[in-house]
Amino acid sequence: MYHDVLPEKEVFFDITPQELEAEFRKIQEQGLTPVSMDELVMHLKTGIPLPEKPVLLSFDDGYEGHYLYVYPLLRQFQYPAVFGIYTDKVGKRMGRSSLTWEQLQEMASDPLVTIASHTLSHSDLTQLFGDKLDQELVESKRILETELGVPIRYFVYPEGKFDERVTARVEAAGYQAALIMRNAEGKYAGESEDLMTIERFGMSELEGAIAQANGGLALPVWGDRLVLNAPIELNSITVDDIPLVMVQGGRPVTIHAKSRYRVHEIIAKTNLVAAVDGGFFSLEFLDSNTVIGPVLSQSTQQFVPGKKGENPLLAGRPLVLISPQQVRFVPFDPERHNALAGIQRELGSVTDAFVAAAWLVKDSQPQTAASFGNLYGFDYERDRAFWGIDQQGRPVVGITHAQVDSVRLGQLLSQSGLREAVMLDSGASTDLAFEGRSLGVFEARPVPHVVGLVAPQPGLGCK
């Protein structure tokens, strides 16, 4: 899935013509065969084999760059592709330049090109009902067929938003198949639930998808099993002689305080049941709330960018992203992630974000010493704080009641059932508050940031 292609990138999902050409060359060098939407759908319907290492190229939203740069490259490489067009935008000069009907007619008449409907207005279809919804599906199909003189058999959901009600209407409108997108990780088309929800990978996932298709490392496949309505429980366990105190359940939130306090003081007048000290912070001033790297919290609803000089040092560390429905840990990219728009691209309705120290457990695997790179003191034995997601999908905050190095901690947490865990500020800051009191073994250093858990509200069902 690609979006705009233009010489000067404006947002991170943009790609230049040179970069697109490089991707096409990669596809060629790796021996992949681009297939058409017809071939993919035929394969999914009947099992008729596709060529070896098939890939479908899709371009959404009908930008002028699709005619100026993409279409000539498709002809040069003889690659088929599908374009999702929303008709209200065609020929309009609002915002970014759009394709004109003339350009679309030329493209649509080429057997390499499949045109799919992407609605009339690019609205969130899950918010539309009755005639309003049907019009988006039926009218866009009719307009495209009239203007282009080709049958429109496929559909692309705007912003990837769909539900069972919407997919049923898409099918009823006469579409044979539809493409989705996910904010989190993509899946292979062959893993799709049905023809009305065909899975895609975002363009940045191309390399990983190729590696996995060729028997390389698995892509992370968690996230849809996040459980945010479990009761909150305190668990003190000892694994391999190391005592761990963990609180699991509820829904995760962060607080970026105005100054530095003990963790139990920060959550005293909130609805948080438990919290652990959060991101690293500047020790410069006793009363500073400066966190290292960018930070966004529900408490302030304010995005505070990280310092330009510090950010490059944090590249690749886990950027924690929390929304009402999702939790993601993605490698921090100083170029993309130091602005609210950049983190919103990673997780649409993000409410909380900060940069953690390192992955301890990733895809249920403890991390090796090499993975910590040059993180200062990762191999020291210290009291340590962490948070993550357990195998049941519940959020977990916790601390050790003994001094351990990071590699060992990852092994302990993996054994105790965490599938994802990242390290928080540790050593003298290590502190866990539960129901109003500190469960730390010593009086911890005051901190400006915490990761906590809010109890599920009875009666409010979470998906």
Is residue 408 exposed (0-12), middle (13-18) or buried (19+ Cβ within 10 Å)?
A: middle
Instruction: Give the integer Cα–Cα distance in Å for 184 and 345.
Output: 10
For residue 26, give every residue at least 6 positions away whose Cβ sits within 8 Å of its Cβ, in sequence order, or none: 206, 207, 210
Instruction: Give the integer Cα–Cα distance in Å for 377 and 370.
Output: 13
Q: Which is nearer to Zn ion, 90 or 315 (CB)?
A: 90
Q: Between residue 264 and residue 323, which ones bind Zn ion under the rule CB under 5 A? A: none
Q: Between residue 45 and residue 74, which ones bind Zn ion under the rule CB under 5 A? A: 60-61
Q: Which is nearer to Zn ion, 98 or 426 (CB)?
A: 98
Whether residue 385 contacts residue 447, with contact meaning beta carbons closer than 8 Å, is answered with: no
| Sheet (strand 242-248) strand order | 233-239, 242-248, 395-400, 385-390, 418-423, 358-362, 365-366
Q: Which is nearer to Zn ion, 162 or 386 (CB)?
A: 162
Instruction: Give the integer Cα–Cα distance in Å for 428 and 361.
Output: 22
Minimum Å distance from CB 164 to Zn ion?
Answer: 21
Q: How many residues bind Zn ion (CB under 5 A)?
A: 2
Q: Which is nearer to Zn ion, 181 or 314 (CB)?
A: 181
Q: Which is nearer to Zn ion, 61 or 136 (CB)?
A: 61
Q: Which is nearer to Zn ion, 14 or 60 (CB)?
A: 60
Whether residue 274 contacts residue 452, with contact meaning beta carbons closer than 8 Å, is answered with: yes
Minimum Å distance from CB 199 to Zn ion?
Answer: 16
The per-residue DSSP string of 302-337 comes to EEEPPPTTTGGGGTTSEEEEE-SS-EEEEE--TTTS
Minimum Å distance from CB 368 to Zn ion?
Answer: 40
Minimum Å distance from CB 159 to Zn ion?
Answer: 6
Q: Which is nearer to Zn ion, 140 or 248 (CB)?
A: 140
Minimum Å distance from CB 33 to Zn ion?
Answer: 26
The gap from C-alpha 334 to its chain's centroid, in whole angstroms, comes to 16
136 binds Zn ion (CB under 5 A): no
Instruction: Give the integer Cα–Cα distance in Å for 341 and 83.
Output: 25
Whether residue 197 contacts residue 162, with contact meaning beta carbons closer than 8 Å, is answered with: yes
Q: Which is nearer to Zn ion, 125 or 421 (CB)?
A: 125
Q: Between residue 197 and residue 256, which ones bind Zn ion under the rule CB under 5 A? A: none
Minimum Å distance from CB 158 to Zn ion?
Answer: 5
For residue 271, give every residue at least 6 positions away whose Cβ sits within 8 Å of its Cβ, in sequence order, or none: 454, 455
Minimum Å distance from CB 1 to Zn ion?
Answer: 9
Minimum Å distance from CB 439 to Zn ion?
Answer: 47
- H-helix or E-strand containing 296? strand 295-297
**Residue ranges that bind Zn ion, judged by CB under 5 A:** 60-61
